[in-house]
Structure 1
């Protein structure tokens, strides 16, 4: 009998599907008197990705779960609360949900496969599955049933008489044997929590809760047994897994929280951990707690440069146990090279004066899923602390105007893009905010299709900004400078960047550009570490009036002016390699500088002219140690640029030219010649738009993006 025929028959005899199924499934769960309060934020549970808070457990096979939705705060007409079954905890997972909303009663939705667009009994594509008029009904109670491979959703006003909203059969949605079943809450209002209360949960005993997707405000779960807090009701404890901190090559500190004692007087709280892929868990020692709150434990004896999984757990004094969600972290390399997360790059993000310490697991994650200006702009100009990740590669045409990062605390992780990464063209990319990190991005501004991008850098920071880091970026084909630091800025780092081929005559009118990097008047605490400047006629770099800078371990190739300083400039210039091919003067000129271990190739080239040499460093980043100049060229040519283990043809060409001491002195390039005919450059790149789906962890975000960075910096390294 087809499932629609079976359903019609059961309704005809007055049973409904539940009349047959109810005796087939366990009905144990949280005690009826227990009130479950869930706070959840998130933009939506819809489209191809979800954001919400989930209170759940893993269920193998069939189930029959019911609950009463007592209240839902009206943060939006499409805020939602209800029962859900979910194949995985990824934000794009296959799922089915009964949803109660403030403005749209109760209906049923599903995603037929990972990454597909969601459908519902109220949507055009899903309305044909509805068994109630309009696909929605007034209901206080919800019931979700899995029978073999069929998912059935019911609503009720009294918890006894059930109305079928829809059933979804195999082929439309196919769950594997085990899945996650629980209560989902979404505010449909980013940055705002909604509160939902449930009672009479039957057939399910959740023990874990976490935010799913890129939720800006963390959710929570609490339970009240209704017994005055004396523990008279037998409910399960609730724990949540936090993040790992103080991670080194052999140890890490794990954090978690006991959210609810479940009526018990105390609980033994601990963690379980293992190397990723291992079958058995190792438990830490337990600490006995008698109230809710956070706890942590340091584990040691870990393997270096290895992904580890961990989860919070608690054994309540009444015999009940809770296990939280599984999170991960990666131990650092034990190579002792001072680099980041096992990379051979000598220069870490914190080696300059700027600090990325504002970044933590609470940041919102914004995904760029298409190689368009609008998609990137929406992510980088969002508000609040945020991480921008890429699920596409490709060339992003900025259309002839600058693209600005306008709000503070933005981390742009270009390393998360699939090969060959992200390249920006035809517009300045500018950080006009504070506390930002830009990694593994290429920008090739060029003269523009109409020749009107006059005076644009490829990448820079705006005047008056502070605490910004540009790391492993490529900046080329600028029509003024290629990569610069704004006026009156403070605490700026440029590290491991590849800066080359400013356009000498981009418009064919004799205008004389082809500059590398300018450090604007009044810029304080600028750190230029481990960069490569190549094939520019000057400003390698230019340190303007009243600037204070550290210029350490950089390679400068093919210029006729190099490091120029104004008279009141102060700098520490240490361990740099100058390789002039067309020099009309000395490589370091003017200003006031402490000079140490700088070399020229050929060595007959004069090093300084008119520079007032200081006897000690006027400034230096705390804890930073410069490499010997003899190691700099090999190191920088291996690690500078957007994706040194995955270089595009132009970046590879520059590195080869430096190694072989070859290449044209200038990229002359009048507009038409540069775009259409210049064989060495080849015009604007057209990168393939490859895509992948990122599984962004709810904790350990810094370790996760560091592992992605390692994957594009070190040949043979794998992403997380």
Structure 2
């Protein structure tokens, strides 16, 4: 395994492309090849629909890889883009700098055999009043299966930032329930941050990281960063099965990882024991974290089988926090397991003390070509700064304004099986620390007065 550099500045030195980082941190084979071997569809406009649009590309039928000959922001105008057609690879890494950022919307994935890489989704309140009903996820699977979501940045969701959802009880048996909701989903190297708290969601406070809905199975969180979400990093619902390896949870509010099979939702259905395997994860308290917050909290009525190893939980001053707690005086039991409940074969698992430095280099979209808000969030994690927010304007001017850029996609320059550039250099690749600098900062770095 490649030795990773140390230090706060080195954390964002994207001198090695993501493919190299992935090679260094081995993982099992993905559950799908997406659209590999199919046709190439080029996105040539930032319009939300119509000829050459991203929407047109994902709605096309048959195996396909979506590449981008345009960079900038796609404004969905407070709509959610639904992806239903299977056998799809979305390669955001092919876009010219600054990459592809989706604003004022989110993505619901209802298909299967899909790979999504290097997109930014910044949902935002967009000025909608409190309780008004604008409640989009930044990203969610909806009864999807065999999916990989890697190196994406999900910010400012009104519901969850990054979830796996679907019906609870579609079928006549537990096996059918699980087959008919989301399953075999990998979330890897993503940034899920700043879910909006008291905003336009009809339930009121709703700053959430990830929801794994009831009976979703084989859901993997590997090397993701959760930052500044009140709850759900992740919330695992009744009967779901989740593997968490080397994730970083920073500044959770009231709950970090939690499990809850709610009787109110399972009435007249037999309870199913959930499963969580958590190895080498870090939870670090921040400005909004409740005192004494546990790494894992158990609620509801259903039992949870749990295997945990080398999970680190500390407050914002580095003092240890408990590994386990509960909410609700109910019959739910924690059932400790002596061995992992999901396979760890093929993973290079970092010790928890090395997780933060490693993840801050690689998590999120286009780590070689960071967006300003990604830089802000990651630097704040490293510096122990940042807060849970209610509106995107609390951390800057709001949605990013990006100049449209264009560059032709040359298939001969890319390995089309892995969607990595043959010369090792990604579009817009930068060397050195990617810092968000003011004009005064720039002048001081250059030694100007």
Query: TM exceeds 0.5?
Result: yes
Which residue of 287, 290, 294 corresponds with 1:586? Answer: 294
Matches within 5 A, 1:629-648: 629-648=352-371
Q: Is the 8 A contact 2:414 2:421 kept in 1?
A: no
Matches within 5 A, 1:118-137: none
Which residue of 545, 549, 563 corresponds with 2:257? Answer: 563
Q: Aligned to 2:406, what secondary structure does the other structure show?
A: coil
Confirm or deny that 1:471 pairs with 2:150: yes
Q: Is the 8 A contact 1:389 1:417 kept in 2?
A: yes
Give the match for residue 705 of structure 1.
420
Query: May I ask how many residue pairs the two structures share in their alignment?
Result: 367
Confirm or deny that 1:596 pairs with 2:306: no
Structure 1's 343 and 587: CA in aligned 2 closer, same or farther, altered over 3 A?
A: closer
**How far 1:630 moved relative to its partner?**
1.5
**How far 1:609 moved relative to its partner?**
2.2
**How far 1:705 moved relative to its partner?**
3.3
1-side partners of 2:342 and 2:201: how far apart?
42
1:165-220 deviations in Å (ceiling 9; x for gaps): xxxxxxxxxxxxxxxxxxxxxxxxxxxxxxxxxxxxxxxxxxxxxxxxxxxxxxxx
Give the match for residue 435 of structure 1.
113
**How far 1:615 moved relative to its partner?**
0.6
Q: Aligned to 1:632, what secondary structure does the other structure show?
A: helix
Give the match for residue 372 of structure 1.
47
Structure 1's 542 and 522: CA in aligned 2 closer, same or farther, altered over 3 A?
A: same
Q: Is the 8 A contact 2:36 2:65 kept in 1?
A: no
**How far 1:707 moved relative to its partner?**
5.0
Structure 1 residue ranges without an equivalent (≥5): 1-338
Structure 2 residue ranges without an equivalent (≥5): 1-16, 167-180, 262-272, 299-303, 327-333, 433-449
Give the match for residue 687 of structure 1.
402
TM-score for the superposition, normalised by structure 2: 0.76
Give the match for residue 269 of structure 2.
none
Which residue of 315, 321, 324 corresponds with 1:605? Answer: 321
Structure 1's 395 and 364: CA in aligned 2 closer, same or farther, altered over 3 A?
A: same
**How far 1:506 moved relative to its partner?**
1.6
Q: Compute the RMSD of aligned alpha carbons.
A: 2.5
TM-score for the superposition, normalised by structure 1: 0.48
1-side partners of 2:378 and 2:139: how far apart?
20
Q: Is the 8 A contact 1:347 1:529 kept in 2?
A: no
Which residue of 187, 194, 201 corresponds with 1:494? Answer: 187
Q: Aligned to 2:140, what secondary structure does the other structure show?
A: strand
Q: Aligned to 1:427, what secondary structure does the other structure show?
A: strand
Q: Is the 8 A contact 1:572 1:620 kept in 2?
A: no
1:361-405 deviations in Å (ceiling 9; x for gaps): 3x1111011112111110011000000000111111112111011
Which of the two has greater helix per residue?
2
1-side partners of 2:119 and 2:382: how far apart?
23
Matches within 5 A, 1:64-463: 341-343=19-21, 346-347=24-25, 351=28, 354-357=30-33, 359-361=35-37, 363-374=38-49, 375-448=53-126, 450=128, 454-462=134-142
**How far 1:516 moved relative to its partner?**
0.6
Q: Is the 8 A contact 2:119 2:365 kept in 1?
A: yes
Q: Is the 8 A contact 2:128 2:134 kept in 1?
A: no
1:128-185 deviations in Å (ceiling 9; x for gaps): xxxxxxxxxxxxxxxxxxxxxxxxxxxxxxxxxxxxxxxxxxxxxxxxxxxxxxxxxx
Structure 1's 504 and 439: CA in aligned 2 closer, same or farther, altered over 3 A?
A: same
1-side partners of 2:72 and 2:18: how far apart?
27
Q: Is the 8 A contact 2:35 2:114 kept in 1?
A: no
Which of the two has greater strand per residue?
1
1:292-331 deviations in Å (ceiling 9; x for gaps): xxxxxxxxxxxxxxxxxxxxxxxxxxxxxxxxxxxxxxxx
1-side partners of 2:390 and 2:72: how far apart?
27
Matches within 5 A, 1:24-63: none
Structure 1's 704 and 562: CA in aligned 2 closer, same or farther, altered over 3 A?
A: closer
* More RCO (CA 8 Å, sep 6+): 2
Higher radius of gyration, 1 or 2: 1
1:24-60 deviations in Å (ceiling 9; x for gaps): xxxxxxxxxxxxxxxxxxxxxxxxxxxxxxxxxxxxx
